[in-house]
Structure 1
Amino acid sequence: MHFHHHGYVSGDPRVQPAAGVGIDRPTQLPDEVDVLIVGTGPAGMLTAAQLSQFPGVTTRIVERRGGRLAIGQADGIQARSVETFQAFGFAERIIAEAYRITEMAFWKPDPADHSRIVRAARAVDDPAGISEFPHLIVNQARVLDYFAEFMANSPTRMAPDYGYEFRSLEVGEGKYPVTVTLLHTAGPLEGQERVVRAKYVVGADGARSKVRESIGCTLAGDQANHAWGVMDVLATTDFPDIRLKCAIQSGEGGSILLIPREGGHLFRMYVDLGEVNPSDKGAVRNTTIEQIIAKANDILHPYTLDVRNVAWHSVYEVGHRLTDRFDDVLPEEIGTRTPRVFITGDACHTHSAKAGQGMNVSMQDGFNLGWKLGHVLEGRSPEGLLSTYSAERQVIAKNLIDFDKEWSTLMAKKPEEFESPSELEDFYTSTAEFPAGFMTQYAPSMLIGEQAHQDLATGFTVGKRFKSAPVVRVCDTNPLQLGHQAKADGRWRIYVFADPSVAGSASPTNDLAEWLANAPDSPLAATPSGLDRDAWFDVKVIYQQEHTGIDISAVPAAFTPEVGPFRLTYLENVYGTGPAADIFELRGVARGGAVVVVRPDQYVANVLPLTATAELAAFFAPLLPTRKPEPARS
């Protein structure tokens, strides 16, 4: 963690100095804001947390509840989400308090007596080592708490505005074109309306989203007509795998998905309530907690479950629905205007809870959108950047729903309906990369280059998230994960994988460094005067030699920028390979070197040769402010 560059810091280094709109931030919701986020769920809070890093952007997030969420319905945290938490600085702390999934047990009817269940198989949760991060279970409320802490410690000192319910919006003209009507739901003004004008609005207000309704979007899809009772309980039981994630299928066809919860003792059960008659009209939702517990005991036979305390329970029917757009631009308007209103998370995609994807995919919606809003509002990028949000995330949501349909259908099958006895566990292990969050791949666009040079870094697939690998930082000899050094600060990353030459010698790496530091068409040249050279771009170099063979004083200045008011030399962007792991070998990086460009949300945007300065300049040109021509010299 880097924090002394503006002078000695004796307090908590996670608390960044207040800046911009964070200085004397008004406690009351202003009449005019840059971004108004509706809803403090995972998508809304991550969007707000990312925007909290932009001191010049006024962002407020409103919530109809009067305070923080106490009990969250979501709990599964996939490895990609933990990777994201690392960028926001709280992965280690949330891992420490979470339940960690390492295996899944599969229980099926006893072949000798179908009235009983027996353990039939175990599956390792991540047999291929997809990620260095674990698969966790932790209450959604705690995830929101961590994002709230990050926001409060940010330069903007952001905090949710509780007690406001969204009523309606209208998009017009002017500096603040979106007029939003809110209703006070708590406090002395309860029942009164409040109008706020915004440049942009983000609807993160759930499956019954009023923001979605206000822009004319509807959720379309199907209902599976299959009901599940879900309960978080404290209980005593003789079921031996009560602290393991389990898929349990009984001989009578009912099934349970068992999810142990953090903190010990607490666990969640999704209990199969069977097919629902289409004319049921929601009557199944009146199923009592006593009926859910009784059904669970029937499925668990010969084991018993004695529930002592119910923290939360609900009944839901599986549905798979998706909107055809994630913003307010109608199909016939595409290319004629940029969006002003966006929807995220459950507001634009709904599915079953059993694949553990709702919170995870919703947060990636927010990560995708947040930095783009920040860049546009700070003048780093043109407004056209915002059109990429719906284009990128709608496809990902469709892939999620297709996957969840298959998984939830398998979970609802009766044992005799499977084509093979191991079909369920085979599907679980063979598709592990998708639910872990690592199958997302964005198509070529203004943000994603073509794969013309993919062979230079086969392990950093263009369009997919940057997959970390171990390196050694030269200045202090610390072994680190390269990807873990990228923070959610809104900066682009340019990773320069050096050619075999040593630091400082004439080489393509040195030529590239010279171009990055001094060329007028270098992306770094777009950084406004008065800001540190690394304010918009984080440039790192990874040499092929071990750290002991690198002379850091010979490393080009592009990789060791001067930062802060004291113009201190930043040495932490220079890396070598370690004796136990060679990142060039692990990630298929060509020995001739390569440039890997990574977006602020951790997705690989381009892979280029070290000599491709013109291509690198051309890639960034439409993403950066229009540069004024240099004045003619006399």
Structure 2
Amino acid sequence: MNSDFDVVVAGGGPVGLMLACELRLGGASVVVVERRTEADRTIKAGWISTPTAEAFYRRGMLPALAEVQQRSVERFRAFVREQQGTGGSGRPPRAPAGFAGHFAGIMLRGELLDPADPDFVNAGPAKDIGHVPQQEIERLLTERARELGIEVRGGTELTGFHTVDGGIEVRVAPAADGSGEVIRAHWLVGCDGGRSTVRKLAGFAFPGTDPQITGHQALVEMTGSEALRPGWNHTHTGMYVHGPMPGRILTVEFDGPPADREAPVTAEQLQASLRRVSGAEVTITGVRTATRFTDHARQAADYRAGRVLLAGDAAHVHSPFGGQGLNLGIGDAMNLGWKLAAVVRGRAPEGLLDSYTAERHPIGAWVLEWTRAQVALMRPEPQAQALRQVVAELAESVAGTTYFAKKISGVSHRYDLPGSHPLVGRSAPDLAFTDGTRLADLLHDGRALLLDLADDAGLRAHARGYGERVRVVTAACPDGPEPAGLLVRPDGIVAWAAGAGDGDGLADALSRWFGPGRRTFL
């Protein structure tokens, strides 16, 4: 089929933009269609996980994240000064450097983390990045998409699609007037959010659990805020959050889902909810941005149906507690991008796409369970509060904090890949080399990497038939070659690892992930 693009990405949020950038890096032609005409300024996630920071780090974007984080820290400090200056109730919130995340609003203290845990050590400088708002992620990815020459069509709505021989025809229309056109492509990926049009039209099963709560999050102007305690606060009527930036509030009430999820959030509704939960006579005088959320938790049974795939909230929805949604979606994009590009460009068979659901679905299922557990602990009933106290005491230990922080940050996640080495299926350690570079520096171009740490000609010979598909690098670490060799996929996952002189399984791993080589070396 003659196509206009290799891939149409529906949705121009962070997940859609990240996927488009990865596809373009892999050589695929891609267009992004997005209903919005400007960036979404609705307050959303304010934190990214270590795997998300690693993804940006491996594409050379860590300095930009560090700049954003510095501004976020400065805003936090301004909030602390405001609280101290107005005599806010309770102690001021702990500084970001001492914050390791939270579980159901139970704060995790960074000084209780086990510094020797290898899952934290191996991430390199990415582990120091976390306080990055979702709006800034979208801005950075918009700039990157522009640099890569990706066409992003704002104000354009996907209205339908159908498969044809060898491809798919996608109907789009300007969101303003409804006039339309057809884009011909080989693949369509829905990154169009929790109410995904792509998912609904393609008929993906979307099982899960119904909502029990109504939550609001907003940036507001208000009077009487000195009566609010900073941070996460549990009350007999629900939970509320004040900070970590001036004017930010969040409320959670356990009275069932909202009657109309789509209705605009008003100052009166925010004020009433905040008063009910906090007991403080706060008056909201202005709303800069506001959103309403629930805890419905659903996941597509499969992330692929023929030539249609899903990523991000289109594939899974859940409550926002812990900021897992953005991070889960970026992980989807990193996993799918290089695989779909390889299939599009003929570097790998279409069967490679089966590994996308196989690898990402279990991670998504875990996130849904993780958020459900948090909602259970937040409930105001005596039984839930008794359990909450037990969990809070566990979180005050080194083992407990380290456990929760590893889960929240995502550093303990791994894919079930063939191979017995403990690194296989995990994010590659950010090895430091004797020449001053690090492993992440070798992944900027989005290619797979065979890293030879023992100057083993036999090891390197396995990859000679892969040309540009696999970059081969011989390097040395100051602390010695352990392991002696690593095969790292474009998404930074270790596909094979072994000790010195042990090339068993490398040929199979190369073939599995990057197709057959042109020649075979024994």
Inter-CA distance 318–122: structure 2 relative to 1 (3 Å threshold): closer
Is 1:438 the equivalent of 2:385? no
Residue among 509, 524, 527 paired with 2:464:
524
Residue among 371, 374, 381 paired with 1:407:
374
Is 1:233 the equivalent of 2:220? yes
Residue among 277, 285, 296 paired with 2:274:
296
SS of the residue corresponding to residue 430 of structure 2 reads coil
Structure 1 counterpart of 2:32: 61
Question: Equivalents in 2 of 1:606, 1:196: separation in Å?
Answer: 39
**1:513-565 deviations in whole A, cap 9, x for unaligned?**
3552xx4xx223221xxxxxxx433334xxxxxxxxxxxxxxxxxx3xxxxxx
Shift of 1:92: 2.1
Inter-CA distance 172–309: structure 2 relative to 1 (3 Å threshold): same
Residue among 168, 172, 186 paired with 2:164:
172
Shift of 1:576: 3.4
Is 1:248 the equivalent of 2:233? yes
Q: Which protein is richer in strand relative to its size?
A: 1
Structure 1 counterpart of 2:97: none
SS of the residue corresponding to residue 303 of structure 2 reads coil
Inter-CA distance 420–468: structure 2 relative to 1 (3 Å threshold): same
**1:105-125 deviations in whole A, cap 9, x for unaligned?**
xxxxxxxxxxx9789996314
Question: Equivalents in 1 of 2:273, 2:17: separation in Å?
Answer: 36
Shift of 1:462: 1.5
Inter-CA distance 122–326: structure 2 relative to 1 (3 Å threshold): closer
Residue among 154, 171, 183 paired with 2:173:
183
Question: Equivalents in 1 of 2:214, 2:172: separation in Å?
Answer: 35
RCO higher in 1 or 2 (8 Å CA, sep ≥ 6)? 2
Inter-CA distance 77–211: structure 2 relative to 1 (3 Å threshold): same
Structure 2 counterpart of 1:211: 198
Preserved CA contact (<8 Å) 1:410 1:424: no
Shift of 1:34: 0.5
Further displaced range: 312-321 or 398-407: 312-321
Question: Equivalents in 2 of 1:349, 1:298: separation in Å?
Answer: 31
Question: Equivalents in 2 of 1:149, 1:287: separation in Å?
Answer: 31
Inter-CA distance 353–539: structure 2 relative to 1 (3 Å threshold): same
Shift of 1:594: 2.3
Inter-CA distance 229–200: structure 2 relative to 1 (3 Å threshold): same
Task: Tell me which amino acid in the other structure corresponds to 1:49.
Answer: C
Question: Equivalents in 2 of 1:467, 1:415: separation in Å?
Answer: 44
**1:298-357 deviations in whole A, cap 9, x for unaligned?**
54467x7564542211222211111110010xxxxxxxxxx4110111111000011210
Question: Equivalents in 2 of 1:613, 1:31: separation in Å?
Answer: 41
Preserved CA contact (<8 Å) 2:161 2:168: yes
Question: Equivalents in 2 of 1:483, 1:292: separation in Å?
Answer: 47
Task: Tell me which amino acid in the other structure corresponds to 2:253.
Answer: L
Structure 1 counterpart of 2:490: 600
Preserved CA contact (<8 Å) 1:326 1:344: yes
Further displaced range: 489-498 or 315-324: 489-498
Question: Equivalents in 2 of 1:287, 1:376: separation in Å?
Answer: 44
Residue among 199, 202, 218 paired with 2:186:
199
Structure 2 counterpart of 1:113: none
Which segments of 5 or more consecutive residues in structure 1 lack a partner in the other structure?
A: 1-29, 104-115, 329-338, 499-508, 528-534, 541-558, 560-573
Residue among 234, 241, 244 paired with 1:260:
244
Task: Tell me which amino acid in the other structure corresponds to 2:8.
Answer: L
SS of the residue corresponding to residue 77 of structure 1 reads coil
Shift of 1:595: 1.4
Shift of 1:88: 2.6
Inter-CA distance 233–383: structure 2 relative to 1 (3 Å threshold): same
TM-score relative to the length of structure 2: 0.82
Inter-CA distance 317–70: structure 2 relative to 1 (3 Å threshold): closer
SS of the residue corresponding to residue 50 of structure 1 reads helix
TM-score relative to the length of structure 1: 0.68
SS of the residue corresponding to residue 288 of structure 2 reads strand
Task: Tell me which amino acid in the other structure corresponds to 2:66.
Answer: I
Preserved CA contact (<8 Å) 1:249 1:415: no
Q: Which protein is richer in helix relative to its size?
A: 2
Task: Tell me which amino acid in the other structure corresponds to 1:145.
Answer: R
Shift of 1:193: 1.6
Question: Equivalents in 1 of 2:390, 2:92: separation in Å?
Answer: 12
Inter-CA distance 575–152: structure 2 relative to 1 (3 Å threshold): farther
Task: Tell me which amino acid in the other structure corresponds to 2:477.
Answer: G
Matches within 5 A, 1:225-624: 225-235=212-222, 237-238=225-226, 242=230, 246-250=231-235, 252-261=236-245, 265-267=246-248, 269-276=249-256, 281-282=259-260, 288-297=266-275, 299-300=277-278, 305=282, 307=284, 309-328=286-305, 339-414=306-381, 417-419=385-387, 421=389, 423-424=391-392, 426=394, 429=401, 430-444=403-417, 449-451=418-420, 454=421, 458=422, 461-469=423-431, 471-474=432-435, 478=436, 482-498=438-454, 509=455, 512-513=456-457, 516=460, 519=461, 522-527=462-467, 535-540=468-473, 559=474, 574-577=475-478, 582=479, 589=482, 593-613=483-503, 615-624=505-514
Structure 2 counterpart of 1:6: none
Task: Tell me which amino acid in the other structure corresponds to 1:169.
Answer: F
**1:191-218 deviations in whole A, cap 9, x for unaligned?**
2121111111111011111111222113
Structure 2 counterpart of 1:134: 128
Task: Tell me which amino acid in the other structure corresponds to 1:468.
Answer: D
Task: Tell me which amino acid in the other structure corresponds to 2:457.
Answer: A
Which segments of 5 or more consecutive residues in structure 2 lack a partner in the other structure?
A: 77-88, 94-105
Question: Equivalents in 1 of 2:13, 2:209: separation in Å?
Answer: 24
Task: Tell me which amino acid in the other structure corresponds to 2:161.
Answer: L
**1:123-169 deviations in whole A, cap 9, x for unaligned?**
31472353542353443232112112122222xx1131112211111
